[in-house]
A = this chain, B = another copy of it.
């Protein structure tokens, strides 16, 4: 094993970059802008350039670099090819192949949520666990599945697309994906606000959430933690659906650790307790005690996971 590797996490506005020692120490991290103009054709050359510049700056020889891993916001198959990445304005892009050609280094590409899960399994909240389910509760709900230490990409690159698990067959509003009743419609930041607005409309109960011009998920979570009865009802609904979904996922892959990340997870242990209560209610007996923990690496999960990915054998 060589001394260094790079972990890259491409987002819609910035590219996060990390230089790692191959045993897992983050040496340095930095960001460059994501240039999405002209169908994002500069993105991978920009990544290659910043890697080259970093090696020169630090006097690192290419022969001492194991490779570069890269996370992309969109489905990626196991050959490291993106079918399309809407936020980068990409069509089909053989990401790993192009990045390898541009850098002269071994390159691997994965979906951003999947590499984040791998990062948490490597050096984060699930450090050392071989089988991990990660759900990321942000604007949407993303996820990543790790089995035997490796990302489950799936046949269409949709492995870990747990935000679109259809949990509520009675839902009448459509999700962004076109289906109805997706987990994301309830358990994302947007979903929490939606559930709260429904709950506010359904009763005249007093609540600190009533009469706000802009209701945010943070408002709901703060009110929940303060014991506001209506906010508690909202989060019990969220916990019921999310805990129920995680219980089903456990019947499929039976993880050692379940990690909850994303902005919503900043609500901390009260949120976890609420999810866990319902998870335990619905989980198969052997999986009832599977720990549910908060992600640790925050925005660095992607660079950690990308770096880890390139260190794994084919």
Q: A residues near B, CB below 8 A?
A: 75, 78, 129-131, 145, 147-148, 150, 152-167, 169, 177-179, 181, 240, 244-245, 247-256, 282-287, 290
Contacts and interface: CB of A to CB of B under 8 A. Distances in A.
Interface of A is mostly: loop
A256 to B, nearest CB: 4
A152 B147 contact: yes
Nearest to A167: B248
Given A244-B166, A244-B169, A248-B248, A253 B152 contact: yes
Contacts of A78: 148
Contacts of A165: 247-248, 251-252
Copies in the complex: 2
A255 B154 contact: yes
B284 A254 contact: no
Contacts of A177: 284-285
Contacts of A75: 286
A150 B152 contact: no
Given A169-B282, A285-B178, A286-B75, A154 B244 contact: no
A256 B159 CA distance: 11
B284 A155 contact: no
Contacts of A245: 248
Given A131-B155, A165-B252, A181-B282, 10 more contacts: A156-B254, A156-B287, A159-B252, A160-B251, A161-B254, A165-B247, A166-B282, A177-B284, A179-B282, A245-B248
